[in-house]
Structure 1
Amino acid sequence: MLASMKDVLLDQLAACHNDESWFKPSITILNDVSVNDAIWKAEDDPHSIWEIANHLIFWNEMWINRFINDDSFEKSTTTNDETFELDHLKQDEASWNETMQRLSNGFAHWREVITNCDDSKLEKIIPSYFNAQWWGVISNLCIHNAYHIGQMMLLKKQVQKYRS
């Protein structure tokens, strides 16, 4: 039996969120990351784990809002570089926990929305985005998430090595 588009997208989102399959999911990677680990930057890397988490939150929330609102929403004026920004006044345990929860909630929300949508929604074309179909955009969003989750894993390994 062939998997449906929904099944594939749900599998991709689970892999990024909490299903240990081919790579460590975000929930596993971030589970024991402290605030100091989350803000640490390698000399040759422009972003910290926390900044990457902020970037993923921005894009996941932006695209789910577009999906839910049928692509009729106010366009963001935020630049890609700004999506990584970290509030230097809120670098505490509570803020870090909120960031991790927001990232996790975003993946869970995507899975809920996809589970409950009609297949026709996934096949719908997005005229304002290269006439791409929703299933393709969501699949590419998952690839984007996986890429940055890999970066977070490498940064976590680097910070552990640096601190030991």
Structure 2
Amino acid sequence: MNYKSILLDQLNACYNDKSWFIPLQEILIDLNAAQAAWENESKQSIWSIVNHLNFWNEKWLERYNLEQFESKSSINNDDTFYVNPHSINDIEWKKTLQRLETVFKSWNRALEESEDHKLITEIPSYFNAPWWGVVSNLCIHNAYHIGQIMLLKKQLLSLSQKTD
């Protein structure tokens, strides 16, 4: 067992490999745009969290592929949750889901093609963290938000059962 196989296992457990929890792909597959955009009392929606996951998975994949990390960032994390209220329709939701699938497949490919030494390389401008640690924490970040998405879906289904 090496870093690469562990990280691939974590990544796939988050997206499409049912293990300790229901993977993201399975949670999202039966939702339409209106359901994904539904907000609870805290103004959270499944769609907004998926946008956030897309953003950070893409950002870290870009950094990983370029082997660079900009030390100063102008990213406002709250902006990564944004859903355009004028684009809430099933076509845009399907595009969001496709983007999610693409980034997880791209991460799989990047890790599979990586040399083992890359994963132990430290990132000086990011606390000297090794890449394996960064990718592992990205998976933990994904799992955290997958839990939120699952709770939002349960709330949504509970509300729809009450109105039936």
Which TM class, normalised by the smaller chain length? over 0.9
Unmatched 5+ residue regions in structure 2?
none
Determine if the alignment matches structure 1 residue 26 to structure 2 residue 24: yes
Deviation string 1:63-103 (CA, Å, 9 cap, x unpaired) is 00000001156964220101001111111111000101111
* C-alpha separation in 2, matches of 1:73 and 1:65: 11
Determine if the alignment matches structure 1 residue 133 to structure 2 residue 130: yes
One-letter code of the match for 1:118? E
* C-alpha separation in 1, matches of 2:71 and 2:29: 34
Cα 1:75–1:86 change in 2 (3 A) is farther
Summarize the alignment of residues 10-159 of structure 1 with structure 2, pairs less than 5 Å apart: 10-43=8-41, 45-71=42-68, 76-159=73-156
Does structure 2 conserve the Cα–Cα contact (< 8 Å) formed by 1:65 and 1:73? Answer: no
* C-alpha separation in 1, matches of 2:73 and 2:102: 21
* C-alpha separation in 1, matches of 2:46 and 2:5: 29
Does structure 2 conserve the Cα–Cα contact (< 8 Å) formed by 1:41 and 1:47? Answer: yes
**Deviation, structure 1 residue 46:** 3.1
Deviation string 1:102-127 (CA, Å, 9 cap, x unpaired) is 11111111011000000111000001
* C-alpha separation in 1, matches of 2:93 and 2:84: 11
Question: Secondary structure of the equivalent of 2:86?
Answer: coil
Normalised by the length of structure 1, the TM-score is 0.94
Unmatched 5+ residue regions in structure 1?
none
One-letter code of the match for 1:117? S
* C-alpha separation in 1, matches of 2:114 and 2:50: 26
Question: Secondary structure of the equivalent of 2:85?
Answer: coil
Which residue, 7, 10, 17 being the options, matches 1:9? 7
Query: Moved runs in structure 1, 4+ residues, more than 4 A?
Result: 72-76
* Equivalenced residues, count: 161
* C-alpha separation in 2, matches of 1:40 and 1:161: 13
Structure with the largest fraction of helix = 2
Question: Secondary structure of the equivalent of 2:53?
Answer: helix
RMSD: 1.3
